[in-house]
């Protein structure tokens, strides 16, 4: 155990910090759930990619820096410290990218990964259906093979950022005779293909962050099939592993939010009557630290040829509940002003950030597998409790 | 940067775990409850033979020269076994205090050196009694006590003090209130040195309890998983019910995120025990939180059985209750963090998880661990 950075790691931190200071947008970008904001965020992804900071852990041939996981954590720490824009293509770079690295053919990697890293192609996720939410194996949307093509019919829902994205990665039923998690395939579909209809669904903040996607005889080449036909479930589980595991929510995000919470607390401390606030602030800071330490532990273990164990199912519950607590505490500290929407005479950037984060935090315990599903996974796979 | 334990450290842990699972069964713990001393001499000797008492003694005094990082997993195992003997208090708290005192005095006190040798071989035991804890656990079984008088550290033979025994709700514990008169010949350190020794000792005590609380939590959850798998109602194990699963999953999440805080605190204590306040308080507060949750939820999973004397769960639960309050309760440790968060110069934010120092930094040279 050696909890200190090497000189090379410290040097990498300095390089990242200098580059970010020189390149991050001078004022905050509009929400990426607006057309204008989406375009601005796409531009930012291009800038990142040109600086070779698009996805630092990827191999150099795909525009990465072949960084190890400790360097990735350092990059993320500097990224959130600098207040750089959120990653609009996170479905692509954090979920599909690692999936392609593991299951894609060389030709598929060449075709999709660089375009993803540069922000040229933005990705949405197409898993949930009206009848398949937590019970994802109930998927009905079909992809019927026709020669070297698939013909897709059906519906997907709750596709984050599909309104403005270019592509969607789907889990589809390729064997009509199959049931549950058999006969499903992992297929990439361009959202501008004939027969695709995308209908926006406004989220809690009123912006069209979700979409429903309808497929009506949509034809895609079988080049877009990832892995074996009928072997999509295992691949989707691996993708979900990335989502719930290490990459999707890096600890720096919550450390930065809890640092801002402490600053807000210092400003407002003497105006607060709620006796629980002091305890909440302390807990938020401790928990953000604990999540960071836990991630360093996992990263170190992976670097030393260890594996992510079933205990990683604890991550998603921990960070989503932490995010809620940070923002609930901030709302309490802001008092009557907490509800003021941006654009109002009394609004300011600080209020806007906290309110936006508070609304978004409501979704954390739901997406990427609800926290109730996560608790079942912990009980059954980590603790070994009986399934039925 | 490497946040893993070495193969040697893990092997040491496994060896101790095996020993404890053989020597410290629930049945033998209950036998201790009925004894005067509360000590199982056979179990104690097995731990001495394994080198636990020598672990943190320097090699020059016949010890193994290990650090708090090497011993933290052992402390966790002692918690998992609900070990009654004060091995963790003596090995991870009192012994390093003697070592630090010896270093601060540059070896000038030959009595300390001889005592360290006797501690390493298991011939003599020493325990600490700082003012934050009103009672000393197993004081009657120790040969010497380290006692505070202001900043002074006194090394006092146990037969030269008065002990008033108190019965704990946890019958494995043997508490005493100590009455004694400070004398110049028992004082081994004072002033700045003494203050630093007590500060380090408080951190080591809280760290020791944090690690034991983690082991206790995991042991309680493991017992409850087994109970929920075996116990049937409505024709199936009660553990298939989500309400039961989620009680234990919540405990697992708390324990899982107390772990890295405890290991980071162990590292900080090993490197700079006087500057470990914040990391130790984080470890103690989160481990206590995990142990309180495990105590409550595991009793709930056991139903009426969990409220009986016969069910072994209370061996672990009562230890968790008591260790949670010893060496500073949740309020004490959260307040230390709170004070730190209010300091304008506190290094907060994602870039400071491990402070701002790095290897080869000329402005902030780092001493080797």
- Tens of pLDDT, residue by residue over A47-61, are 999 999 999 999 998
Instruction: State the nearest Cα–Cα gap between A106 and chain B, in angstroms.
Output: 33
Distance CA A148, CA A12 (A): 47
B99 CB contacts (<8 Å, ≥6 apart)? B56, B57, B58, B116
- State what percent of residues in chain B have pLDDT above 90: 94
Mutation target to probe the A interface, by most A beta carbons within 10 A, among B222, B350, B367 is B350
In chain A, list all ranges with CATH 2.40.110.10: 123-230
Contact B263 A297 (CB under 8 A): yes
**Residue A203: helix, strand or coil by DSSP?**
coil
**B312 strand-pairing partners:** none
Please report which confidence band the pLDDT of residue A387 belongs to, taking 50, 70 and 90 as the band edges. Answer: very high
**Residue B138 φ/ψ, nearest 5 degrees:** 65, 25
User: What's residue A310's pLDDT?
Assistant: 81
pLDDT at A63 over 90: no
| CA angle, residues B254, B246, A203, in degrees to nearest 5 | 90
pLDDT at B358 over 90: no
**Residue pair A25/A31 in contact by the 8 Å Cβ criterion:** no
Instruction: State the nearest Cα–Cα gap between A374 and chain B, in angstroms.
Output: 9
**Nearest residue of B to residue A267, measured between CA atoms:** B342
Distance between start and end Cα atoms, chain B? 13
User: What's residue A69's pLDDT?
Assistant: 93
Pick A244 or B83 by higher pLDDT. B83
Sign of dihedral through CA atoms B284, B290, B293, B298? negative
Interface residue A80 vs chain B (CB under 8 A)? yes
Q: Is A243 a catalytic residue?
A: yes
pLDDT at B366 over 60: no
Mean pLDDT across chain A: 94
User: What's residue A248's pLDDT?
Assistant: 73
Contact B358 A5 (CB under 8 A): yes
Distance CA A59, CA A293 (A): 26
In chain A, list all ranges with CATH 1.20.140.10: 249-382
By mean pLDDT, which of A119-128, A239-248, B161-170 is the weakest?
A: A239-248
User: What's residue A104's pLDDT?
Assistant: 96
B271 CB contacts (<8 Å, ≥6 apart)? B367, B369
Q: Which residues of A touch B239 (CB under 8 A)?
A: 379, 385-386
Sign of dihedral through CA atoms B226, B231, B237, B242? negative
Mean pLDDT (whole number) for A313-317: 92
Measured from the Cβ of residue A334, the count of other Cβ atoms closer than 10 Å reads 18
Q: What is the pTM of this model?
A: 0.96
User: What's residue B365's pLDDT?
Assistant: 56
User: What's residue B281's pLDDT?
Assistant: 98
Pairing of strands B236-237, B126-128: unpaired
Pairing of strands A196-201, A184-190: unpaired
Pick B359 or B158 by higher pLDDT. B158
Centroid of chain to Cα A131 = 23
Q: Which residues of A touch B260 (CB under 8 A)?
A: 290, 293-294, 296-297
Burial of A3 (0-12, 13-18, 19+ CB in 10 A): buried
DSSP string for B277-294: HHHHHHHHHHHHHHHHHH
Please report which confidence band the pLDDT of residue B368 belongs to, taking 50, 70 and 90 as the band edges. Answer: very low
**Nearest residue of B to residue A74, measured between CA atoms:** B351
pLDDT at A249 over 90: no
pLDDT tens for A152-207 read 999 999 999 999 999 999 999 999 999 999 999 999 999 999 999 999 999 999 99
CB-CB: which of B252, B260, B358 is closest to A10? B358
pLDDT tens for B204-255 read 999 999 999 999 999 999 999 999 999 999 999 999 999 999 999 999 999 9
Q: What is the 3-state secondary structure (H, E, C) of B193-229?
A: HHHHHHHHHHHHHHHHHHHHHHHHHHHHHHHHHHHHH
Among the listed residues A166, A26, A188, the one whose alpha carbon sits nearest the alpha carbon of residue A88:
A166
- Pick the catalytic residue from A212, A243, A263, A311: A243
pLDDT at B265 over 70: yes
Contact B286 A286 (CB under 8 A): yes
Contact B260 A290 (CB under 8 A): yes
CATH fit for domain A249-382, picks 1.20.140.10, 3.40.47.10, 3.30.365.10, 3.40.50.300: 1.20.140.10
Per the listing, tokens 């009672």 go with B135
Query: A-B interface: how many C-beta pairs under 8 angstroms?
Result: 190
For residue B157, the surrounding DSSP H or E stretch is strand B152-157
Mean pLDDT (whole number) for A98-114: 94
Predicted-complex ipTM score: 0.96
Structure tokens at B212: 């034991």
Q: Determine the longest span between alpha carbons in chain B, in angstroms.
A: 71
> Measuring CA to CA, how many Å separate B205 from each of B63, B215, B277, B327?
21, 16, 11, 6
User: What's residue B363's pLDDT?
Assistant: 65
| Complete domains list, chain B, with CATH | 202-344 (1.20.140.10)
The CATH code of domain A123-230 reads 2.40.110.10
Contact A300 B282 (CB under 8 A): no
Distance CA B328, CA B302 (A): 30
Contact B257 A291 (CB under 8 A): yes
For residue A320, the surrounding DSSP H or E stretch is helix A313-334
Q: Which residues of B touch A281 (CB under 8 A)?
A: 338, 341
CB-CB: which of A251, A282, A294 is closest to B334? A282
**Residue pair B179/B165 in contact by the 8 Å Cβ criterion:** no
> Measuring CA to CA, how many Å separate B219 from each of B76, B298, B300?
10, 10, 15
pLDDT tens for B333-343 read 999 999 999 99
Contact B4 A384 (CB under 8 A): no
Show which of residues 226-285 on chain B sit within 8 Å of chain A, judged by CB atoms.
228-229, 236-237, 239-240, 242, 244-246, 248-250, 252-253, 256-261, 263-264, 267-268, 282, 285
Contact A290 B229 (CB under 8 A): no
Burial of B15 (0-12, 13-18, 19+ CB in 10 A): middle
3-state percent breakdown (helix, strand, coil) of chain A, nearest 5? 50, 15, 35
**Residue pair A39/A76 in contact by the 8 Å Cβ criterion:** no
Please report which confidence band the pLDDT of residue A313 belongs to, taking 50, 70 and 90 as the band edges. Answer: confident
> Measuring CA to CA, how many Å separate B47 from each of A17, B23, B57, B66, B152?
51, 9, 15, 16, 32
Mean pLDDT (whole number) for B258-274: 97
Mutation target to probe the B interface, by most B beta carbons within 10 A, among A70, A313, A383, A388 is A383
User: What's residue A368's pLDDT?
Assistant: 86
Show which of residues 85-114 on chain B sit within 8 Å of chain A, judged by CB atoms.
none
Interface residue A275 vs chain B (CB under 8 A)? no
User: What's residue A245's pLDDT?
Assistant: 64
Contact A300 B4 (CB under 8 A): yes
pLDDT tens for B110-169 read 999 999 999 999 999 999 986 789 999 999 999 999 999 999 999 999 999 999 999 999
pLDDT at A112 over 90: yes
Structure tokens at A131: 């009848």
User: What's residue B369's pLDDT?
Assistant: 40
Contact A387 B240 (CB under 8 A): yes
**Residue pair A292/B349 in contact by the 8 Å Cβ criterion:** no
**Residue A159: helix, strand or coil by DSSP?**
coil
User: What's residue A269's pLDDT?
Assistant: 87
Structure tokens at A344: 């109002």
> Measuring CA to CA, how many Å separate B259 from each of A107, A118, A326?
43, 38, 22
CB-CB: which of A81, A279, A299 is closest to B349? A81
CB-CB: which of B249, B348, B353 is closest to A378? B249
Instruction: State the nearest Cα–Cα gap between B176 and chain A, in angstroms.
Output: 33
**Residue pair A207/A183 in contact by the 8 Å Cβ criterion:** no
Among the listed residues B258, B254, B262, B211, the one whose alpha carbon sits nearest the alpha carbon of residue A314:
B254
pLDDT tens for A369-384 read 899 999 999 999 999 9
Instruction: State the nearest Cα–Cα gap between A340 and chain B, in angstroms.
Output: 27
Pick B191 or A242 by higher pLDDT. B191
């Amino acid at each position: 155990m050696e909890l200190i950075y090497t000189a090379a790691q410290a040097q990498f931190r300095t390089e990242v910090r200098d580059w970010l200071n020189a390149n991050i947008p001078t004022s905050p970008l509009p929400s990426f759930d607006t057309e204008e904001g989406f375009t601005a965020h796409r531009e930012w992804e291009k800038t990142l990619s040109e600086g070779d900071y698009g996805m630092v852990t990827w191999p150099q041939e795909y525009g990465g820096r072949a960084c190890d996981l400790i360097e990735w954590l350092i990059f993320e720490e500097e990224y959130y410290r600098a207040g750089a824009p959120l990653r609009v293509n996170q479905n692509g770079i954090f979920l599909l990218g690692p999936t392609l690295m593991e299951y894609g053919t060389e030709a598929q990697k060449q075709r999709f990964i660089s375009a993803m890293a540069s922000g040229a192609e933005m990705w949405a996720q197409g898993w949930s259906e009206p009848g398949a939410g937590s019970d994802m194996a109930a998927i009905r949307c079909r992809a019927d093979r026709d020669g070297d093509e698939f013909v897709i019919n059906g519906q997907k829902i709750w596709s984050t950022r599909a309104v403005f994205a270019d592509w969607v990665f789907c889990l589809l039923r390729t064997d009509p005779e199959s049931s549950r998690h058999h006969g499903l395939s992992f297929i990439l579909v361009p959202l501008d293909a004939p027969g695709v209809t995308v209908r926006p669904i406004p989220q809690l903040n009123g912006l069209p962050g979700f979409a429903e996607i309808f497929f009506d005889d949509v034809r895609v080449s079988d080049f877009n099939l990832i892995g074996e036909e009928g072997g999509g479930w295992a691949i989707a589980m691996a993708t979900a592993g990335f989502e719930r595991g290490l990459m999707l929510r890096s600890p720096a995000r919550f450390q930065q939010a809890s640092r801002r919470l402490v600053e807000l607390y210092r400003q407002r401390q003497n105006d607060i009557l709620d006796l629980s606030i002091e305890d909440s602030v302390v807990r938020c800071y401790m928990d953000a630290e604990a999540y960071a330490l836990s991630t360093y532990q996992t990263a170190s273990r992976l670097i030393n040829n260890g594996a992510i164990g079933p205990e990683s199912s604890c991550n998603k519950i921990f960070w989503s509940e932490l995010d809620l607590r940070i923002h609930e505490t901030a709302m309490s500290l802001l008092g009557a002003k907490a509800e003021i929407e941006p654009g109002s005479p009394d609004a300011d950037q600080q209020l806007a950030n906290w309110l936006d984060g508070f609304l978004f935090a409501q979704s954390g315990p739901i997406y990427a597998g609800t926290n109730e599903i996560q608790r079942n996974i912990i009980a059954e796979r980590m603790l070994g409790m009986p399934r039925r | 940067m490497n946040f893993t334990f070495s193969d040697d450290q893990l092997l040491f842990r496994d060896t101790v775990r095996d020993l404890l699972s053989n020597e410290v069964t629930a049945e033998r713990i209950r036998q201790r409850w009925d004894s005067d001393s509360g000590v199982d001499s056979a179990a104690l000797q097995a731990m001495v033979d394994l080198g636990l008492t020598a672990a943190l003694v320097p090699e020059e005094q016949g010890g193994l020269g290990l650090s708090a990082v090497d011993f933290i997993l052992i402390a966790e195992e002692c918690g998992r076994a609900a070990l009654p003997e004060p091995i963790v208090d003596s090995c991870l708290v009192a012994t390093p205090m003697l070592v630090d005192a010896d270093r601060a005095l540059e070896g000038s006190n030959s009595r300390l050196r001889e005592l360290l040798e006797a501690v390493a071989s298991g011939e003599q035991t020493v325990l600490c009694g700082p003012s934050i804890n009103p009672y000393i656990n197993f004081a009657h079984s120790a040969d010497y006590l380290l006692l505070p008088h202001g900043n002074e550290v006194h090394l006092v033979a146990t037969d030269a003090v008065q002990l008033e025994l108190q019965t704990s709700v946890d019958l494995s514990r043997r508490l005493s209130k100590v009455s004694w008169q400070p004398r110049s010949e028992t004082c081994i350190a004072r002033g700045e040195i003494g203050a630093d020794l007590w500060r380090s000792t408080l951190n080591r005590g809280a760290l020791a309890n944090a690690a034991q609380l983690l082991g206790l939590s995991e042991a309680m959850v493991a017992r409850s998983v087994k109970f929920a798998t075996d116990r049937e109602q409505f024709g199936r194990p009660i553990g298939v019910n989500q309400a039961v699963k989620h009680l234990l999953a919540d405990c697992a999440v708390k324990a899982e995120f107390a772990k890295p805080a405890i290991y980071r605190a162990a590292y900080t204590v090993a490197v700079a025990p006087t500057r470990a306040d914040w990391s130790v308080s984080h470890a103690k507060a989160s481990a206590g939180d995990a142990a309180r949750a495990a105590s409550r939820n595991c009793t709930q999973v056991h139903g009426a059985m969990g409220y009986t004397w016969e069910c072994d769960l209370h061996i672990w639960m009562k230890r968790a209750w008591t260790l949670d309050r010893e060496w500073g309760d949740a309020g004490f440790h959260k307040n230390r963090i709170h004070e730190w968060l209010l300091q304008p110069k506190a290094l907060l934010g994602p870039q400071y998880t491990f402070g701002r120092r790095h290897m080869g930094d000329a402005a902030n040279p780092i001493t080797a661990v």
